[in-house]
Structure 1
Amino acid sequence: MAKLTVIIPYYQKEPGILRRALASVFAQTFQDFHILVIDDCSPYPIDEELEPLSEQERARLTVISQPNKGPGGARNTGLDHVPDDSEFVAFLDSDDEWTPDHLKNAYGSMSRFGADCYWASITGGEAFYYHFDVAELTESHSVIRLQEAPLVVEIPDLINVMLRNWSFLHLSCMVIGRSLFETVRFDAALRLAAEDVLFFCDCILAAKRVVLCDEAGAERGEGINIFHSIDNDSPQFLQQQFNTFVALETLEGRFSRKPTAIASIRSYQHTARRQALWSQARRLKRRKSPQFRLLARWVLRDPRLLQSALALAVGKFSRAH
């Protein structure tokens, strides 16, 4: 087969997006790969996306169709079907595009430095303002510079750096080795948020060595696919924040004896609560009922949500007077 397996989950609402992602894969300067596309019961049919492929390209691609399981479940199916002779797995969201040297940089860096986990930087438009590249980490954190062109670094305290702000990590820039893709899986229950963060954390904890490359590995598609098309006013936004909170609870269990990590996680939990409550306040402002059922589930799991709601109400009342 091939040294590297590419996993692309597919669940799309408009034509041409997967076609564009696949074009960026076939344009790679590193060509020793095979592609697994997981059709997660997409509402837009995959056959039309694959129609422009040449016979040679189609032979390098396998489609696995399944009932809808969400992005984590789709990626898990891909991981379960990686051929025995693949050395590495690279992920690509179907609405993102790789830069031409992404796989070359990943394979070269991981082989040279004995790494089983790799991230490159990512680029994107204005909607992607919160992400930052690997070079910025070198300005504020202790790093080991392994290579200068392209810049490849190792961060000794990567797990704590990641827990403070994981906005330099993205799945479409991630490549993992066999020791990880055979054992680590996504939490498929977290359909709308944070399944990637848990996966990042588990891979970092399990990896023998993680390296990061500053050269951009992908350009983000700014949420064109259905997995990431939720904004602050979407009905699914509260569920997204709840899923984020659940993932953060799981992370908290991973680091029960590490106060610095717990502090970072609890800060993110506080943000998730506030985001959730602001979304419900906006619903009231638009004369829509709050999502009481999900709010009740959240309160049963996390009574602090009520404290946050009270603080938000008091703050709003104080500003009004």
Structure 2
Amino acid sequence: MAKLTVIIPYYQKEAGILRRALASVFAQSFQDFHVLVVDDESPYPIDEELEPLAAGERARITVIRQSNLGPGGARNTGLDHVPEDTEFVALLDSDDVWSVDHLKNAYDSLCRFGADCYFASITGGDAFYYHFSVASLEGRGTAVRLQDEPLVVELPDLTDVMLENWSFLHLSCMVIGRSLFETIRFDAALRLAAEDVLFFCDCILSARRVILCDAVGAERGEGINIFHSIDNDSPEFLQQQFNTYVALETLEGRFTRRPQAIASIRSYQHTARRQALWSQARRLKQRKSPQFQLLARWVLRDPRLLQSALSLAVSKLSRSR
């Protein structure tokens, strides 16, 4: 069997997206891999995506079909089916594409430095301006340079750095070892929210060693993936923000004795509350009813939402005067 298993959750509504991702996989300079594609009840049929592939490529792909469980659930299914002799797992979203040396850089670095968690840099178009590279982290005094070409660094305080701003991390640039892919799973209930951040955090906390490579691992898709298609005026936006709050609340439980981490998490929680309330204010402006049922669930879990609503109302009244 292969040294490395590639897991791709598949849920698409357009032709050619998965084929584009798979083309970047089969173009890798490192070729000792097998591919698991989890068909999460995709609207666009997977068979039509795979049909044009060469027979040799198709033979290296295992398709697992399941009822829709969302991105976290699809990735968990892939993790549950990794072959016993696989050394590492690489994750790839179906609308992203890998750079040609991504798996080579990951495998070489993981083996050389005895690590079991690896992140590469991510790139993307104008819609994802907020991403920044691993090289940017060298400005922190704690960064330790392990290798010059490609640049590989280690951050002893990586969890604190991540919680300040995790825009340098992405699942399509992540490769993990057996100790992690056998034990750590996504919270599948947190659809369209921060289930990836929880997974990052749990892997970092459990890893023997985490290394970061500045070489571009993947180019992020331009919003084609349905997992990321929720905009601020969508009815699903409030659910997304609520799930984000729940994920952050879970994260807070991981760091009860680390004030800096708690402060970062609470700042993100405040942002989630304000985003949620602004979305409901827009609904009122559009003469639509607020989503009272979900708001009530949120308030029961987080009474501070009412405080944020009052603060927002006072601020709006002050400006109107």
Shorter-chain TM-score above 0.5: yes
For 2:59 and 2:86, locate their aligned partners in 1 and report how far apart those are by CA, in whole Å: 17
Residue identity matched to 2:103: L
Instruction: Tell me which residue corresponds to 1:261.
Output: 261
Instruction: Tell me which residue corresponds to 1:132.
Output: 132
Instruction: Tell me which residue corresponds to 2:109.
Output: 109
- Secondary structure of the residue aligned to 1:122 is strand
Instruction: Tell me which residue corresponds to 1:235.
Output: 235
Q: Residue 10 in 1 paired to residue 10 in 2?
A: yes
Q: In the TM superposition, what is the alpha-carbon distance from 1:289 to its structure 2 partner?
A: 1.1
Residue identity matched to 1:187: D
Q: After the TM superposition, list the runs of 4 or more consecutive aligned residues in structure 1 that deviate by more than 4 angstroms.
A: none
- Secondary structure of the residue aligned to 2:202 is helix
Q: Residue 190 in 1 paired to residue 224 in 2?
A: no
Instruction: Tell me which residue corresponds to 2:276.
Output: 276
Instruction: Tell me which residue corresponds to 2:80.
Output: 80
Structure 1 window deviating more from structure 2 (210-219 vs 138-147): it is: 138-147
Q: Residue 50 in 1 paired to residue 50 in 2?
A: yes
Map 1:120-269 → 2, pairs under 5 A: 120-269=120-269
For 2:206 and 2:13, locate their aligned partners in 1 and report how far apart those are by CA, in whole Å: 35
**Between Structure 1 and Structure 2, how many residues are aligned?**
321
| Per-residue deviation, residues 223-245 of structure 1 (Å, max 9, x unmatched) | 21111111111111110000000
Provide TM-score, normalisation by structure 1.
0.99
Map 1:275-294 → 2, pairs under 5 A: 275-294=275-294
Instruction: Tell me which residue corresponds to 1:33.
Output: 33
Q: In the TM superposition, what is the alpha-carbon distance from 1:246 to its structure 2 partner?
A: 0.1
- Secondary structure of the residue aligned to 2:62 is strand
Distance 1:310 1:126, change over 3 A: same
For 1:102 and 1:57, locate their aligned partners in 2 and report how far apart those are by CA, in whole Å: 19
- Secondary structure of the residue aligned to 1:204 is helix
Residue identity matched to 1:34: H
For 1:124 and 1:320, locate their aligned partners in 2 and report how far apart those are by CA, in whole Å: 39
Q: In the TM superposition, what is the alpha-carbon distance from 1:67 to its structure 2 partner?
A: 0.7
For 2:38 and 2:88, locate their aligned partners in 1 and report how far apart those are by CA, in whole Å: 18
Instruction: Tell me which residue corresponds to 1:65.
Output: 65
For 2:252 and 2:127, locate their aligned partners in 1 and report how far apart those are by CA, in whole Å: 29
Q: In the TM superposition, what is the alpha-carbon distance from 1:222 to its structure 2 partner?
A: 2.2
For 1:180 and 1:137, locate their aligned partners in 2 and report how far apart those are by CA, in whole Å: 24
Provide TM-score, normalisation by structure 2.
0.99
- Secondary structure of the residue aligned to 1:249 is helix
Q: In the TM superposition, what is the alpha-carbon distance from 1:141 to its structure 2 partner?
A: 4.4
- Secondary structure of the residue aligned to 1:218 is strand
For 1:239 and 1:130, locate their aligned partners in 2 and report how far apart those are by CA, in whole Å: 23
Q: In the TM superposition, what is the alpha-carbon distance from 1:133 to its structure 2 partner?
A: 0.6
Q: In the TM superposition, what is the alpha-carbon distance from 1:305 to its structure 2 partner?
A: 0.3
- Secondary structure of the residue aligned to 1:93 is coil
Residue identity matched to 1:276: A
Instruction: Tell me which residue corresponds to 2:305.
Output: 305
- Secondary structure of the residue aligned to 1:235 is coil
| Per-residue deviation, residues 164-190 of structure 1 (Å, max 9, x unmatched) | 111100000000000000000000110
For 1:228 and 1:258, locate their aligned partners in 2 and report how far apart those are by CA, in whole Å: 31
- Secondary structure of the residue aligned to 1:145 is strand
Distance 1:103 1:239, change over 3 A: same
For 1:141 and 1:151, locate their aligned partners in 2 and report how far apart those are by CA, in whole Å: 16
Instruction: Tell me which residue corresponds to 2:99.
Output: 99
Residue identity matched to 2:231: D
- Secondary structure of the residue aligned to 1:319 is helix
- Secondary structure of the residue aligned to 1:247 is helix
For 2:90 and 2:104, locate their aligned partners in 1 and report how far apart those are by CA, in whole Å: 12
For 1:287 and 1:222, locate their aligned partners in 2 and report how far apart those are by CA, in whole Å: 31
Q: In the TM superposition, what is the alpha-carbon distance from 1:129 to its structure 2 partner?
A: 1.0
Residue identity matched to 2:101: D
Residue identity matched to 1:51: E
For 1:210 and 1:39, locate their aligned partners in 2 and report how far apart those are by CA, in whole Å: 30
For 1:126 and 1:291, locate their aligned partners in 2 and report how far apart those are by CA, in whole Å: 32
| Per-residue deviation, residues 180-235 of structure 1 (Å, max 9, x unmatched) | 00000000110111110000000000000000000110000022111111111111
Residue identity matched to 1:252: E
- Secondary structure of the residue aligned to 1:135 is helix
